[in-house]
């Protein structure tokens, strides 16, 4: 039995913060040591629980950013303005602090190598987090360029501005070293000088240009604010992709326009 009186199959564990990495002005990655962590699949998440002094508990679900191959667990947390939990996670926590979490959780929005490809990932804002776990997993599990070539991946990632692109340098590095990974950015609000890429929200024309055709039967994962997810998923189905191959994860209140 856990302290809250419920016998749960997935136990609450005490994680220790090893490091806090600033990703963008509004996002931080918590690098965690979780004793007894049973391992996870790319795309799964954890529930994080905070307990106030008066016993009040707040619980939130966060996607895991690290691949299964990583011994440390990484969560990338975006600070939501009116958030109850995220400001604490992104601003207050430091190396050495502990927090309660349980997981891994979820069996729907997950991808691993045996699930095959090609892999089409569409993300908005911090919706990149579970998609990054998939890209990191693909990179770690497929050691040779031949193996990667057999399981190509494309990421279409919408951010408000260049400064808000999470994992920007790592994405560039991954794509540079891997001809079978294509990373496409769209910047919806503000673009750096000389920007020649997309500068609008993801729409039908963009998906037609970037996505694999339905005949290739890509495994599609869409994660971001609800409006983005709903519009991208329904457009992909209109374009002929099988609904069962288009998996979605929405987060946040209604989110910003990314």
Partner 1 sequence: MNSSSSESHEPVVAGERLAGARRVDGNAAAGILSEVFVRDLTAARAKCARCGVTRTIGTLIVYAHGMGMIVRCPGCDGVILRLARTPTHVWLDSTGATSIVISRDAS
Considering the complex, what minimum distance in angstroms separates the CB of residue 68 from partner 1?
A: 13
Residue 47 or 70 having the CB closest to partner 1: 47
Check the CA dihedral 153-206-44-85 and report its sign: positive
Q: Which residues have CB under 8 Å from 203's CB, separation 6+?
A: 231, 235
Residue 153 or 233 having the CB closest to partner 1: 233
Q: Taking Cα atoms as reference points, which of 85, 81, 95, 79 lies closest to residue 56? A: 85
Structure tokens belonging to residue 245: 């191959």
Considering the complex, what minimum distance in angstroms separates the CB of residue 155 from partner 1?
A: 20
Q: Which residues have CB under 8 Å from 92's CB, separation 6+?
A: none
Residue 85 or 175 having the CB closest to partner 1: 85
Binding site for partner 1 (CB under 8 A): 4-10, 45, 47, 50, 52, 54, 56, 58-59, 61, 82-85, 87-88, 92, 102-103, 105-109, 226, 247-254
Q: How many alpha carbons fall within 13 Å on the CB side of residue 194?
A: 0
Residue 145 or 234 having the CB closest to partner 1: 234
Considering the complex, what minimum distance in angstroms separates the CB of residue 98 from partner 1?
A: 16
Bridge partner residues of 47 (DSSP)? 61, 102
Considering the complex, what minimum distance in angstroms separates the CB of residue 39 from partner 1?
A: 11
């Amino acid at each position: 039995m856990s302290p809250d009186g419920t016998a749960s199959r997935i136990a609450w564990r005490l994680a220790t913060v090893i490091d806090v990495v600033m990703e963008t002005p509004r996002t931080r990655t918590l690098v965690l040591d979780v004793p007894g962590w049973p391992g996870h699949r790319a795309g799964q998440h954890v529930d994080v629980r905070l307990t106030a002094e008066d016993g009040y508990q707040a619980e939130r679900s966060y996607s895991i950013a690290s691949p299964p191959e990583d011994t440390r667990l990484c969560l990338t947390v975006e600070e939501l303005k009116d958030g109850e939990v995220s400001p604490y996670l992104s601003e207050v926590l430091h190396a050495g602090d502990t927090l309660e979490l349980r997981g891994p959780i979820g069996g729907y929005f997950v991808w691993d190598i045996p699930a095959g490809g090609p892999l089409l990932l569409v993300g908005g804002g911090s919706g990149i987090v579970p998609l990054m776990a998939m890209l990191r997993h693909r990179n770690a599990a497929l050691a040779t360029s031949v193996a990667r070539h057999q399981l190509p991946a494309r990421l279409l990632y919408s951010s408000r501005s260049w400064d808000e692109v999470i994992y920007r340098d790592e994405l560039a590095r991954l794509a540079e070293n891997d001809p079978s990974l294509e990373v496409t950015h769209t910047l919806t609000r503000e673009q750096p000088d000389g920007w020649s890429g997309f500068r609008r929200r993801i729409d039908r024309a963009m998906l037609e240009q970037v996505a694999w055709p339905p005949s290739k039967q890509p495994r599609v994962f869409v994660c971001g604010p609800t409006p983005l997810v709903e519009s991208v998923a329904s457009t992909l189905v209109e374009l002929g992709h099988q609904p069962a191959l288009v998996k979605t994860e929405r987060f946040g209140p209604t989110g910003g326009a990314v």
